[in-house]
């Protein structure tokens, strides 16, 4: 299966994970303008962007860029996380297989951005446990890495419960060879 030809949908009782859509702009503006959520976004190696969007136009442009990366460049897949109870997009997931000269070469790199009211261990676990196994297959990677800073205690609890382990290895950015820390990894068993 080629995820860049057809993007599958994942569901559990609480969440639907699907390719991001332009209609998600209003919901996702609540995520990317949420100053309490901002510290949890992984913007490592993103050319200085922190993903903060103050107005709808910023969010629309960001979604268009994410869709361009998916359809044209095949650089990464950006999924929307939809809460099935409210039918609102409450965050996004980015995933791609990393090509690099560091420890994380060939790893799937996972970014999970959610509104601050969803930055809770039980909800993050529901999301991470839903995506981990299929993402190994869809992206052709044995290992997946994701960032959780020391202060992200709810996120760390969810990652541990899902089987992730703390890595001491830095991720070396493509820009200026900067070292980034606080990565957690899981290997497909």
- Residue-range domain boundaries for the chain: 10-187
Locate 10 and state its tokens. 């994942």
One pLDDT digit (tens) per residue for the chain, 189 residues:
899 999 999 999 999 999 999 999 999 999 999 999 998 988 655 544 556 788 999 999 999 999 999 999 999 999 999 999 999 999 999 999 999 999 999 999 999 999 999 999 999 999 999 999 999 999 999 999 999 999 999 999 999 999 999 999 999 988 778 898 999 999 997
CA angle 111, 117, 121 (to 5 degrees): 65
Q: Find how far residue 1's CA is from the centre of its chain.
A: 21
Domain range 10-187, its CATH number among 2.40.33.10, 3.60.15.10, 3.40.630.30, 3.40.50.1100: 3.40.630.30
User: Do the beta carbons of residue 98 and residue 19 sit within 8 Å?
Assistant: no
Give the number of other Cβ atoms within 10 Å of residue 80's Cβ.
24
What is the reported pLDDT for 147? 96
> What stretches of 98-158 adopt beta strand conformation (E)?
108-114, 143-147
pTM beyond 0.85, yes or no: yes
Residue 93 DSSP one-character state = E
Query: In this predicted structure, what is the pLDDT of residue 59?
Result: 95
Is the Cβ–Cβ distance between 43 and 51 less than 8 Å? yes
């Amino acid at each position: 299966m080629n995820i860049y030809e057809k993007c599958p949908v994942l569901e559990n009782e609480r969440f639907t994970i699907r390719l991001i859509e332009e209609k998600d702009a209003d919901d996702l503006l609540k995520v990317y303008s949420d100053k309490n959520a901002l510290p949890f976004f992984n913007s490592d190696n993103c050319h200085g962007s922190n993903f903060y969007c103050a107005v709808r136009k910023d969010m629309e442009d960001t979604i268009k860029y994410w869709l361009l990366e998916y359809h044209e460049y095949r650089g990464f897949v950006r999924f929307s996380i939809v809460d099935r109870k409210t039918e609102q997009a409450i965050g996004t997931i980015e995933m791609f297989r990393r090509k690099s000269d560091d420890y994380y070469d060939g790893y799937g790199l996972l970014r999970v951005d959610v509104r601050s009211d969803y930055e809770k261990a039980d909800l993050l676990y529901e999301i991470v446990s839903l995506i981990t196994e299929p993402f190994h297959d869809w992206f052709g990677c044995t290992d997946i890495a994701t960032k959780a800073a020391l202060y992200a205690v709810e996120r760390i609890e969810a990652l541990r419960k899902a089987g992730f382990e703390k890595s001491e290895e830095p991720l070396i950015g493509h820009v200026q060879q900067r070292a980034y820390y606080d990565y957690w990894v899981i290997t497909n068993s």
